[in-house]
Amino acid sequence: MHRIVALALAAASLATADLPKFDQVSNGFKEVVSTADGSRPLYRIWKKDNDLLAELPRGWERQQHIIAATQNRGTIFAGLQGPEVLVYWKRNGNRLMVMTPELGTRSNGEQESKDSVRRIFTDTMLFDVPILAMGPSGQPVVDLDSLLLRSAAGGLGLGGLNAGLAEVVTAKTFPQNTVVSFDVPNRGGQIVGLYFSIVDLPRNNGYKPREADNRIGYFMTSYRDLGDYNQKTKWKRYIHRWNLQKRDPSLKMSPPKEPIIYYIEHTVPVRYRRWLRQGVLYWNNAFAEVGIDNAIEVYFQDKQTGAHMDKDPEDVRYSFIRWLNNDVSTAIGPSRANPLTGEIFDADIVLTDGWIRAYWGWYYEDSPDIVAEGMSPDLREWYDANPHWDPRLLVASPARRAELIDARTSVTADAAEPAIAHNPDLYGTCSSAGCTQCMAAQGLASHMAFAGLMGEDLAMFAPEGDDGAQLDGIPEWFVGPLFAELVCHEVGHTLGLRHNFKASSLYTHEQMNSEEF
């Protein structure tokens, strides 16, 4: 065995001797320094125009890194987290193979089962790159821009790029991660932004994987343990969660060792920022129940003041709430977790401007229809005769009230028509049969609209001094809490929680319609 190792080292030394000197390869390049204190970065980087060189970190043979990509320009969902892959380096002569370990099948059993699993379920080479030289620290140097744009991008499903015309926008390197972003034409010629993070996996930080419990729906990292010979327990499932620990375990209520921090991106309209912050901080009530005080903190990134503008939302060290003006009402809360343990280390929530238009429609246009659901025929008849008491008018905008009165008069006059009897939708009395979508936001909006019938009681929704305030033509008491609840929902996803499907079947229809309920 010692002879084989010696031969391998000798072969590597001979191969290294054939490489050009670093000074020749790096002629005209300038080292990128991103840390103010001069601490050693994960990868050392040198830049010349749009070319990048990178020296692998010391001990790279024993390290595993995550390469994560985000398309941050040129797409309707710019900034939404893209794919990531766990990798390690393996040298073969003067080339380096980028390998990804087999994670779906493992063995935690006796050594014999580990040897067998390792022999059958082998790792995969994603791509390989040439070693250009040995760097100042004695480690291999590679062409970083080519590696990311030509090799890694294709391996992550982001192919079709004209890498020869790529422009380096950002190149930063820190002790735990290295980030590089490009503007590059895609196959259709459109300029897209690609942001890559190379991350050193957290190690020895006290995190303990937690097995999933079927009673609570968490996102999971799962694998098959062939060292476990019990059919019922061979599948191991670790929940995705943050490494949140008490700073002082002896205290009933303790601050965290490291809080979970969210930054509200500078693109979020100022008028909505406080509501988004409120939605995030709702979760501190939940963590207080397990003895952690102020587990989550929120900061505003602000372009005008420069606050936190040094932080990139795509940088996996920071979790952001981002805003897109794309005319789509979508909210999504993805996160990234260590595929070996389930530890969450990055989360970025994306909100869109389409929600403002959706909330406007729900308040002014949908609320009257929602109010009509469940009305008895006698009550509808009385409201038809006394339209100014009709709650469908009270929740409608003043501009629509005359229109609705005319419409109700027309429908009432023709109520006996066969067409009305055949299609109750024309009368506005039937409810939707669709029950396959998550309607939480719409349901909350209808509750808020009903609150509009309570007159002075609306003050309980509005902070002091906000009576009558409007945001984008919508009462703030209505739209503000809706945004807070929307963000709260998405933060729940970034904390590892899935949709609570079980809750919809917790009670039967009979129970829900009973007087006791």
Q: What is the pLDDT of residues 10-19, one digit of tens each?
A: 445 545 668 9
Closest of 70, 66, 32, 73 to residue 51, by C-alpha:
32
Q: For 365-427, what is the HEC assignment?
A: HHHHHHHHCCCCHHHHHHHHHCHHHCHHHHCCCHHHHHHHHHHHHHHHHCCCCHHHHHCHHHH
Instruction: Tell me the torsion sign for CA atoms 151, 155, 156, 161.
Output: positive
Phi-psi region of 423 (alpha: psi -120 to 50; beta: other; left: phi over 0): beta
User: Which domains can be identified in the chain, with CATH numbers?
Assistant: 2-200 (no CATH), 204-354+476-517 (3.40.390), 356-475 (no CATH)
Report how far residue 314's alpha carbon sits from residue 325's, in angstroms, rounded to the nearest whole number: 18
Contacts of 118 (CB under 8 A, 6+ apart): 107
Bridge partners, 256 (sequence order): 246
Report how far residue 390's alpha carbon sits from residue 381's, in angstroms, rounded to the nearest whole number: 10
Residue that the structure tokens 């067998």 belong to = 116
Quick check: pTM over 0.85? no
387, 408 contact by CB (below 8 A): yes
Q: Of 3-17, 39-53, 464-478, where does the model show the most confidence?
A: 39-53
Chain segment 380-428, per-residue pLDDT in tens? 778 778 877 777 676 666 666 677 666 666 555 444 444 444 344 434 4
436: pLDDT strictly greater than 50: no
At 1 the pLDDT is 41
At 150 the pLDDT is 84
